[in-house]
Structure 1
């Protein structure tokens, strides 16, 4: 990734240094550890601290976007403006995301994340504006711009989350990221819940909600600048991230194509990628917006993202169980996902049979008649508990799916350059799916059709991914295999070690 800082002064002379090999720990404030009682706080440039920082960036940027989108319609009664903005968002996201690994590797983590975060601020501002002038064009522009920004942000985030941790901790890192990130969505959902707690009718969220989201997204974008460069990150064992020492635009563009030559099997995971965002339009508009009033939608958003925290942490830690072979874990989690797909979405089918889009939109709001003949559920209604639990499990399932897909990619390689491209493929392809689904919702596709496409794609993509899970995920990836996709040597990433020692 881009070089943004001068090399550090070395802490002491070691045999490795005398032999011309960089020592494990340079002399700098960012490599100092601290003791707090019985605990040791990792140094600032360690993977755990860097993961926490990027998690809080996503807490305040995508987390606020998720809270807003999770209410359905971007907090509006009519979902049309939000749908059009999301179609624009995911369309540009799909294109930029696919190539985002090139930009991340060339520009560096901090620049990529900060620019990415600013797009969320503009998106939120467009809905604040819409509350007053109904300028749908601004929403669409903001959505398209956010697609560009989000493609870069999520690629950089994915590269950090998958390449920084050691092999035995990737599941936990993914789980911790997803927990902190979704905590942002939980808190973000509490804002409209608190401000609309007495809105038993179906109303637009107030300006205070959008202003709160706007401030937090700006803070998140600025926070990205507190990260260190990937080249400066050192793991607890002294090893470093595998990157390109001298990246250029040409090497990274060429590297994008080389991924398909070295790892052609990655295309078998593409259906899982596209499925990972396919169901959001259905969850947020086809269920939450369609069936619940404003304050209950906000409560549902809190529940949905709280369950994402539980889903990510439980799957993340399970995927790192040291007493179970990694190949076995990869297969067991596939079985668990397939069972959850059948059980949770089977329950969703029973619920979906109870209503249609035509029923929900009968007597829709107009300027002359602000009431809706279809009475939406409130949390005080006797029929609320069942749908609440379904929505709760939808949130758990989302986190389980995302955590597993990231873990699969991280289990294939430890090369930061390659994982940036994998993350770009993942976000680009899933965004293409999101664009399609938001458009299908916008044109009024029946809810049952949207539901069936979600269930079928999720189950089918799991089956298509089987060859990768059985053949490509190994107990460990040899370091010489990881180094083949970079211009680094074993001494660059494991100072003082020979290739023989690295293998051992």
Structure 2
């Protein structure tokens, strides 16, 4: 970690609206209203529809667009500012900008030692959307013990909540004005031109570390379409509504458990990363073995699982633990790229690539789910197989993790003298220039 003292900085009163917690609150507010409501619909299985295949095909197209936008969103967000990436992101196909921006904010604004906690807070906000949405859905559909689609009132309520994301996003402060409780500054080192930004993304995309992490990025949300199909195929409307409401608590629990471990400074960074990864992978392997057993039974005798049916518990537990382990895995990947990024601009590139490859994985998975006659064991096999492929290269990256790579600028809260300021200006040795070394 490189440490630089910002001797030319001027003390300013610390406003709560420039604090890290407030910036996280803004990002979480947008996550709650936009993707949170989207996830609430996804938690119903096939977006609440009666048949999963048309919805799955539409999702495949949408995630393909997300993948393209996400890869370049990091570079674009660096030029236009994360606030505008966060604001325009919820507008349809531009969600790639939002995905990249929110991840960069959540990881880059806090100090490295606090990132696990704030990632858990973010996951909670993302989960709160589906929880509230699931509660709404459950209330509107509680009497529907048959299969089919949810009522139209459900969609109207969701759309109204999603529209709140834009005004909330505009409350975000520029990174340069944010203060941290440990007196370090958020370092921003933008490239000189648009072309340089895109070149930086290209160089990062083909770097050894990113190539090793490609399987993990690709598989991190690959399970989600199969969960949607699984729910739609075997659960009633109200049991799917229950899943949309309750399953998200699994992600909250796992996020804080993993966040606490990853922030534990008394344990070496490499050790805590390996412990978290081992636990997550073990649980994911267990869920896919469990899925193979259940799917074999369901092919022979397809159930219609309602709240009080005999097999509801063991089938729903599989959905719960998919989310528990899956959210923990995604959170760890965000934390990991945050440790290797040198500044907020670098982090924006990292998160854009991560979310782009994640969206590419979902594109393939949703396309597979859109095939009405496809064997479910194909989806299970791909999830299981790619997960196994990802273990060794990810372990190599974890084994090389010795410390945070972030350039640290310590703000001097004493008013700098005019002489020092002029000397810095004349030498051209700005904080941003020194931070790039």
**Could you state the TM-score of these two structures normalised by the residue count of structure 2?**
0.89
1:121-168 CA-partner distances (Å, limit 9, x unpaired): xxxxxxxxxxxxxxxxxxxxxxxx3xxx22110100111112111121
Which residue does the alignment assign to 1:124?
none
Determine if the alignment matches structure 1 residue 281 to structure 2 residue 267: no
Alignment root-mean-square deviation, CA: 2.4
Which residue does the alignment assign to 2:358?
430
Matches within 5 A, 1:222-241: 222-241=167-186
Determine if the alignment matches structure 1 residue 208 to structure 2 residue 181: no
Give the C-alpha shift of residue 252 in structure 1.
Answer: 1.4
- The answer to whether the Cα contact below 8 Å between 2:189 and 2:432 also exists between their aligned partners in 1 is no
Determine if the alignment matches structure 1 residue 439 to structure 2 residue 400: no
Which residue does the alignment assign to 1:87?
60
Determine if the alignment matches structure 1 residue 479 to structure 2 residue 407: yes
Give SS of 2:184's match: coil
**How many residues matched?**
413
Give the C-alpha shift of residue 480 in structure 1.
Answer: 8.1
Give SS of 1:226's match: coil
Which residue does the alignment assign to 1:354?
297
Higher RCO (C-alpha 8 Å, min separation 6): 2
1:285-304 CA-partner distances (Å, limit 9, x unpaired): 1x111110101001012222
Distance 1:178 1:317 in 2: 13
- The answer to whether the Cα contact below 8 Å between 1:259 and 1:418 also exists between their aligned partners in 2 is no
Give the C-alpha shift of residue 490 in structure 1.
Answer: 9.0
* Residue 102 (structure 1) aligned to one of 68, 75, 78: 75
Give SS of 1:182's match: helix
Which residue does the alignment assign to 1:310?
253
Which residue does the alignment assign to 1:268?
212
Distance 1:241 1:490 in 2: 18
1:157-180 CA-partner distances (Å, limit 9, x unpaired): 111112111121111111111112
Give the C-alpha shift of residue 359 in structure 1.
Answer: 6.6
* Residue 383 (structure 2) aligned to one of 429, 437, 454: 454
Structure 1 stretches of at least 4 aligned residues deviating more than 4 Å after TM superposition: none
1:368-397 CA-partner distances (Å, limit 9, x unpaired): xxxxxxx61110112211112111111101
Distance 1:331 1:490 in 2: 39
Unaligned runs of 5+ in 2: 410-427
- The answer to whether the Cα contact below 8 Å between 1:118 and 1:218 also exists between their aligned partners in 2 is no
- The answer to whether the Cα contact below 8 Å between 2:187 and 2:407 also exists between their aligned partners in 1 is no
Determine if the alignment matches structure 1 residue 172 to structure 2 residue 117: yes
- The answer to whether the Cα contact below 8 Å between 2:56 and 2:367 also exists between their aligned partners in 1 is yes
Matches within 5 A, 1:97-496: 97-119=70-92, 145=93, 149-244=94-189, 248-260=193-205, 263-285=207-229, 287-356=230-299, 376-444=304-372, 445-471=374-400, 473-477=401-405, 479=407, 492=431
Unaligned runs of 5+ in 1: 1-15, 33-42, 120-144, 361-374, 482-488
1:213-233 CA-partner distances (Å, limit 9, x unpaired): 101110012210111112221
